[in-house]
A and B are shown apart, each in its own frame.
Chain A
Amino acid sequence: MRLKTVLWAAITFAVLAYLIAPIAVLIYSAFDDGKFFRFPPRELSLRWFREALASPEYRSAVLNSTILATIASVLSVAFGLMAALGLTRGPLRSRPIVEILLLAPLTLPLVVWAIALMQIYARLGLSGSVGGLILAHTIITLPLSVRILMATLSNIDPNLEDAARSLGARPLRAFARTTLPLAMPGVLTSAAFCFLISFNDVVVTTFIAGASWMTFPVRMYSQLRGQGVDPITLAIGAMIVALILVIVALGEARFKWSRRL
């Protein structure tokens, strides 16, 4: 019995270690003082973190990513909320559509999206435009936000809004006072995930933006494909990962994110 318990724990921790290892190595390697990472490292320092914070190029790349992801996730949640309301409350509700929409987004074949969008954009003359990029990011994040918001809304009693109305609230106010506050955990969850998808995206962005809007992942990707990764990239990546981990830990503690996906 004891041995079995230990064995279970061992397997579990091995799998967890595998999940964490790449991120841990990423963060660790950012402390390597050398220009190219090697293990064991010659010397550990904060050098690249200092340079990262001082570099205007990188600052603008991270800023670009942040702006893009913020706008895209706000749009995605706004449209996602409308779509989810229509699909769960409105005349559009229908079981099969709902089921497909609930399953599809997790597999989200980004490459397929990217190839399709790239051609559509070329025809519409949107290629390389920032507006087009925002639109593309909104489109690729939309299915997930619809999924999360639909799951959220389907757990909220539609009678609540009716009750508010019968008590004298106009429709918009009834929504704002009942459904919306109750859907807030879902709204924040989907905003966070859309932000992360958009912020981290390299596939769709490289396909349709070219070099016009240099986001941090695109910069990192081109280094990975080319001469190798700049240690400053490692340092920024490490900081981003650390930030994401904190956010996700909070999200999981507060909103049970893993259950909403």
Chain B
Amino acid sequence: MVPPPMTSYLKIDAIGKSYGTTRVLHDVRLDVAPGDFTVLLGPSGCGKSTLLRIIAGLLDSDSGKLVLQGDDITALPAWDRDIGLVFQNYALFPHMTVAENVAFGLDMRNLPKAEIKARVAEALDAVRLGDLGDRKPAALSGGQQQRVAIARAIAIKPRLLLLDEPLSNLDAVLRASVRTELRDLHDRTGITTIMVTHDQAEALSIADRVVLMNEGRIVQNDTPEGIYREPASAFAASFLGSPPANLFPLPTASAAQTTGWTPPPAVAGHLGTDALLALRPEALKLTEEPTPHALPAHLKRIEFQGADRLAHVEALGHPLIVRLSDDQTLTRPDVWLTLPDTPRVFSKTTGALIAPATKG
């Protein structure tokens, strides 16, 4: 694991939030390094938007502290925070033109007219909307509206840019290109950015750091590669990847024996305990001839996905998905499944990592 960033630009310190008796955030702690593109990833309803609104100052936390560039901003109202926020539905002011929308924050700062004009033009150019300043938002496409929302947020030269599911209202084709543009924009402006999404592919492709949330808690904070290769929990393993890791409950030693399976040594010790293996589809191999430690499996069908083929198999009564190598052909339904030598083992009940032991 990469060590946590030493210099903290934004420090989220034990932020808690409840609605009535429902706790939505449980003492969330997070350090964001300057200039980083951080993605808050998690299933719908896990509290991502709530956390984002608390950072923006639009919602009060019940407990905890926010420190931005060394200043405690917990009690600072939203309008004094200099934090740009892009709403999921964009929240463009429908009665103002694009240019007026972008100028709004500058207007509030009472900047001179000429400077406002220059900065509006600069922000619109940054999102490549230079010539649409006179339009009303309603006369723009979804993608254009979204770029206006971004221009409006970056025009104030924010200390932090927050994006709430910015891509979710775009169609699939647009989403991929806007993703790249967002990252480019970040790299050009250098604004420390936190983006919220529930789409793991989006998170992995765009982020410097992925912060995985579940049920109001941060469950892992890592680089995209780190979180993909070394999930810290069964939840992380099953949330990331497409398709995600197979969660394979281990049989008892006797059940393994009756099917004729001799597990690899790193796994054997966990037979019959409360253990799950997290097996990435690409880390599994299917063969028609037995290999040492291979598990007998039954091939049900092969799904063609263009670049990939996914084999759906069943082993010990559990379904598994295996990504096939390009040249492989399988002709028989009775196949052998080879596991990695040291797969990640999680507790079935708590989802916590059992093996390999974490470094440090």
Contact = CB atoms under 8 A, between A and B. Distances in A.
Interface in A78-135: none
A165 B94 contact: no
B56 A182 contact: no
B129 interface: no
Interface string A142-184: 0000000000000001011011111111100110011001100
Given A162-B58, A181-B95, A182-B95, A169 B79 contact: yes
Interface stretch (B83-91, B180-188, B343-351): B83-91
Given A165-B79, A167-B152, A173 B108 contact: yes
Interface residues of A, number: 18
B104 A177 contact: yes
Contact of A159 (B78, B89, B95, B104): B89
Contacts of B58: 162, 165-166
Contacts of A169: 79, 104, 108
Given A166-B58, A166-B78, A167-B152, A160 B108 contact: no
Given A157-B89, A181-B95, A182-B94, A167 B104 contact: yes
A160 B58 CA distance: 12
Interface string B298-314: 00000000000000000
Contacts of B152: 163, 167
B85 A168 contact: no
Nearest to B110: A168
Contacts of B80: 168
Contact of B105 (A159, A160, A167, A178): A167
Those 10 A-B pairs whose CB atoms lie nearest each other, nearest first: A167-B105, A168-B108, A159-B91, A163-B91, A165-B78, A166-B85, A162-B58, A168-B79, A169-B108, A159-B87
24 contacts: A157-B89, A157-B91, A159-B91, A163-B87, A163-B91, A164-B93, A164-B104, A165-B58, A165-B78, A165-B79, A166-B56, A166-B58, A166-B78, A166-B81, A166-B85, A166-B153, A167-B84, A167-B152, A168-B80, A168-B109, A169-B104, A170-B79, A177-B93, A177-B104
